[in-house]
Amino acid sequence: MSQAINKFSKKRLVRLSLLVLLLVAVILMQIVPGWGDVYAQRLYPIVGELLSDLSGPVPFAVGDLFIALSLVGVVAWPFYVRFYKKRKWRRGLAGSAEYLMWVYVWFYLAWGLNYAQSDFYQRTGIAPAEYTEADFRDFARRYVEQLNKAYTPHTAVNPDVLRREVVVTYRHLAPDLGIHPPFDDRPQAKTMLFSPLASMVGVKGSMGPFFCEFTINGDVPPAEYPATYAHELAHLLGIANEGEANFYAYQVCTHTSIQAIRFSGLMSILPHVLNNAYRLLSAEAYDALCRDIRPEVLRLARESQDYWQGKYNRLIGDAQSKLYELYLRGNRVEGGQKSYSQVIGLLIAYEKSTK
């Protein structure tokens, strides 16, 4: 009996020692300059491709199921230990705490350390642009012209065509834009297992870090699907920053030959363009910009806003928003959820660099 206890204690000691070493490694990679880039550029492509190959053949979102079961298990385990095993509460709570630490390590080693890499400007050598009102006005004028020209009432895109176009374009743009090319020819976007819940909090897609898979909300309309697909694929390719993912999705969609994909990419940044216009331009200039947008485009934008607003649950959405803000801040994402709007600055800086 004592030998069995000693054997169990040794195994537990080895397990906890390994956990501590991995925790230290994760922390060091986040705080030591350059180590995050080593992970993102050297290690992640290997890890990401391996996990994607393992999870890809599974027809459902493995990560969604893993998270759901983990939440249930973490809550249920202390009760199981206390009432079935007849052990003390602290034994069950300690088990749940250790499990969460393993999940924490897994998250960062599988994908999360991409938050520690250099930003877009450092990866590409493009200088950040402190854009003026005149810079933005010029950008907005050209953007609206492209948006109006790209409009199409036929927004549905064949999934195989979408995958092919997005993969080919990512591979073409990757060398100059500081992003990995796709790991395979047909990256599969899985449907979220809990799409209704995601709609309640306004989430259209997500990156599944534990198994390197990306998911799209089943409620996403056809007009928004291509841009959402390209955005989430950017996360799979190692881009953690939301503004950067918006930038890559825009670049990829607007460089394809399929009009519906181009229109989806252009529409995806319309809220950010209008938010910046409202902040930077006079009321008259803002109204004039809105009048320049095709009525069909404005109608589609309003319909999209009403569509998602109808599914949104303020109580759940506000709670999720606060948790997500803490998550982004905890991963040193400057601006938190406001980082989504950084796409405008990235686009203006990129355009200036190509002139």
* Distances, alpha carbon 296 to alpha carbons 10, 79, 143, 150, 169, in Å: 69, 57, 16, 12, 28
Alpha-carbon span 189 to 118, nearest angstrom = 27
Determine the distance from the C-alpha atom of residue 50 to the mean position of all C-alpha atoms in its chain, rounded to a whole number.
19
Confidence of residue 289 (pLDDT cuts 50, 70, 90): very high
Which helix (H) or strand (E) is 190 found in, with range?
Answer: strand 189-191
Task: Report, as an integer, the average pLDDT of 2-28.
Answer: 83
- 265-278: pLDDT as tens digits: 999 999 999 999 99
pLDDT reading at 335 higher than 70: no
- 134-178: pLDDT as tens digits: 889 999 999 999 999 999 999 999 999 999 999 999 999 999 999
For the whole model, what pTM was predicted? 0.93
Contact 265, 226 (CB under 8 A): yes
Alpha-carbon span 355 to 351, nearest angstrom = 7
Task: Report, as an integer, the average pLDDT of 80-105.
Answer: 93
- 56-71: pLDDT as tens digits: 999 999 999 999 999 9
Place of tokens 């990866």: 123
Alpha-carbon span 270 to 154, nearest angstrom = 19
The tokens describing 255, both together, are 């460089």
Alpha-carbon span 215 to 232, nearest angstrom = 7
Contact 210, 106 (CB under 8 A): yes
Confidence of residue 3 (pLDDT cuts 50, 70, 90): low
Q: What is the mean pLDDT of the chain?
A: 92
Confidence of residue 339 (pLDDT cuts 50, 70, 90): very low
Neighbours of 73 (CB within 10 A): 13
* Distances, alpha carbon 112 to alpha carbons 107, 231, 242, in Å: 6, 17, 13
Least confident of 29-33, 93-97, 148-152, 324-328: 324-328
Q: 267, 186, 171: which is closest to 228 by C-alpha?
A: 267
Strands 189-191 and 205-208: unpaired
pLDDT reading at 319 higher than 90: no
The tokens describing 303, both together, are 């319909």
Task: Report, as an integer, the average pLDDT of 215-236.
Answer: 98
* Distances, alpha carbon 117 to alpha carbons 69, 98, 221, in Å: 31, 27, 33
Alpha-carbon span 207 to 189, nearest angstrom = 10
Alpha-carbon span 267 to 244, nearest angstrom = 16
Alpha-carbon span 280 to 205, nearest angstrom = 30
What would the DSSP string read from start to end of 69-119?
HHHHHHHHHHHHHHHTS---HHHHHHHHHHHHHHHHHHHHHHTGGGGGS--
Q: Report pLDDT for 328.
A: 66
Q: Report pLDDT for 115.
A: 94
